[in-house]
Chain A
């Protein structure tokens, strides 16, 4: 039987998880790494790489490499043209149309780029299942997570990405809700939970009530354009200012320099979560950043997450003090200042015991399992984050389905004609909380056709809007006097038509051939890297010296050093065979060491000590 998985398609990193023996687990590579950087690079020969390898190319081939594509999902060109200056890749598209991302000669829409990431995750999972001995290791379906505050266009774009990747998208679920599912697995108790999800590019807050295994979202709020990326950009701008230049002043070949700066500030940001100061070194430029300095700089970004929290609490009719538990999700919640502000707001220490990078994928895997097995232990009841409305006279919005309505939800509206014998009506659907159409997000224009000819004002066309459990809208219509159903032609404002998605799916097969050779090379490189990482980790371990002294044969350490150096030497090359040979050599050389390390942890564990203490 084929498999289903849960996928966290993140701004910075993506993960895949699945349920094994009733427990969700994230898929890791040999080095124990679960995170696949959400970065795609297309080489001059058309080969595509995704993940760590693409991340390296961000420095060597920045104009052919795209990151943070999630920020562009379901967006129009005019939405994002402002931030394009900071990005190494080309952002194109015409006004009123979807964004296109230029990578070398190819131009891809954000769903196509995301599909490449999804396909990589699918392949990794399939390789894993094949290695486990599955007769049918194919991944047939996936639950994919999105920020709770994603609108209809962004959700649809995500679903399209799954289809282009050849996945059956079982369900689109919200990241904070998925996190709560993973979090609630162990402690099945009742209560009010706030999930604060601050990731690489998006921020969500969801308030849930958990009772009888039902995870009911009461309210959700957020900002789909607020995350760790914004913190990075602040730091990059600060460094560039100190270097007396700006991103805009740099020529296109200097874009690589911005990436070097970005890499350095991200490393400093990480260091500052544990240390009081971090060194920032970029070429000749050198400076120390203190945590205090860093916190002052990012305070406005953290502040921007608090207003949505208060709004969600108000919508749920709750005071912060009524919340029983606060759960932290997303890499940006590792920043101590973030934790502190959240603790202040809710008056309690937030939970940080689950890995904030992995918890969303785990929840998605649980949901995938619920869908295919019919397991009824738990049930997610989510809400639609934004009100759905239609344009009426004078550009005013009439709301049909209010925000924070439990989904699936429906609503209907009556339409009529303004001219005798009119057979079609245009309906403009928007999403948002504002009163005027122009202040909300345009979702689609529906054209109702097939209204029986009648005098003006006589037809009574009832349009039924339905938001399904994915949070995605559909509509049906019928004229009540004649009982004639109308066809609805949907023109998405910032999305792809079904035909376009189909074509992209076909295109992706054409590219699959060239991608295959690249894949094999990448797999070899990934394998090599995990062996290197594992070896170096062992050599840093406290017991290493003792093992060398008591267990190693003469020359054994030298053989390891040589194999390690040899593998590192060929790693950057395109010589797959050489990489594989040296990986094999290092594996052989370290087998004895690995056994000794294992023995010691087992002994320690049997002696009642935690394995982690030994590492």
Chain B
């Protein structure tokens, strides 16, 4: 690991020694390292950058690391060490929470790979091309339902229509889940055989595309829920 990690060192504030990026305690003086330069959530938790994570491993590593630097165990330590323990624990907890959920895991992967879902104003408002037809039909239905309700129609009349309108969107959502899973497997295979950036980019782009669509579909479904409730 030496040749790879020499350019990604963190510095121990206690003894001034250098340490590889993915360790938490100084190899020289054994003190907990201040969270300066650090690895991403995957490497911090000692996990490969894969989407089909071994969740048992994730939980196990989370517990092991919590036991290493939870603030409970630094109550009598120096202020610098207490601070380091607080920061390392916080980062660990953030990492654990993010990687535990499959969707936030994908979003995080896209972020660290430089293709964030929420970035450059994309997502949310613009209708994805693949969904144009469904969105058009749904909006028509919603308009008509609102008109019926405005005219004082009873719930029994408009509710079934909304329920019906929801079904094709839900079908799309389920199809998406399957597609995301297939793409995730594809990504993991690339990681496993150490594929280069040129091979990875199209898979990441496809993942990102699906995530944007997924967010849009969820917004549509939330809109229908609100209409049904209100």
Contacts and interface: CB of A to CB of B under 8 A. Distances in A.
Interface stretch (A280-288, A345-353, A367-375): A367-375
Contacts of B90: 408-410, 466
Interface in A422-477: 466, 468-469
B76 A468 contact: no
A408 B86 CA distance: 7
B54 to A, nearest CB: 16
A85 interface: no
A380 B72 CA distance: 9
Interface string A354-378: 0000000000000100111010100
B218 interface: no
A490 interface: no
B67 A379 contact: yes
Contacts of B75: 170, 371-372, 374
Nearest to A213: B67
A211 B90 CA distance: 21
A527 B20 CA distance: 63
Interface stretch (B91-99, B148-156, B190-198): B91-99
Contacts of B76: 372, 374
B46 to A, nearest CB: 16
Contact of B67 (A371, A376, A406, A468): A376
B86 A211 contact: no
B94 A409 contact: yes
A367 B91 CA distance: 23
Contact of B93 (A170, A171, A372, A408): A408
Nearest to B59: A211
B86 A468 contact: yes
A374 B72 CA distance: 8
A469 B72 contact: yes
B16 to A, nearest CB: 22
A407 interface: yes
Contacts of A410: 87, 90-91, 94
A370 B72 contact: yes
A336 to B, nearest CB: 37
A406 B86 contact: no
Nearest to B67: A379
A468 B71 CA distance: 9
Contact of A379 (B66, B91, B97): B66
A333 interface: no
**Looking at B72, B73, B94, which has the most chain A CB atoms within 10 Å of its CB?**
B72
A216 B93 CA distance: 12
B70 A379 contact: yes
Contacts of A171: 72
A381 B89 CA distance: 10
A342 to B, nearest CB: 28
Given A371-B72, A374-B73, A380-B72, A214 B66 contact: yes
A406 B71 contact: no
A405 interface: yes
B201 interface: no
B93 A405 contact: yes
Interface string A538-568: 0000000000000000000000000000000
Nearest to B88: A408
Interface string A405-417: 1111110000000
A211 B73 CA distance: 18
Contacts of A186: none
Given A214-B67, A468-B86, A409 B93 contact: yes
A379 B94 CA distance: 18
Contacts of B94: 405, 409-410
A381 B97 contact: no
Interface in A182-238: 211-212, 214, 216
**Looking at A379, A380, A381, which has the most chain B CB atoms within 10 Å of its CB?**
A381
A405 B101 CA distance: 13
A491 B93 CA distance: 28
Interface of A: 170-171, 211-212, 214, 216, 367, 370-372, 374, 376, 379-381, 402, 405-410, 466, 468-469
20 contacts: A171-B72, A211-B63, A212-B63, A214-B63, A214-B66, A214-B67, A370-B72, A371-B72, A371-B75, A372-B75, A372-B76, A380-B72, A381-B66, A405-B93, A405-B97, A408-B71, A410-B91, A410-B94, A469-B86, A469-B89
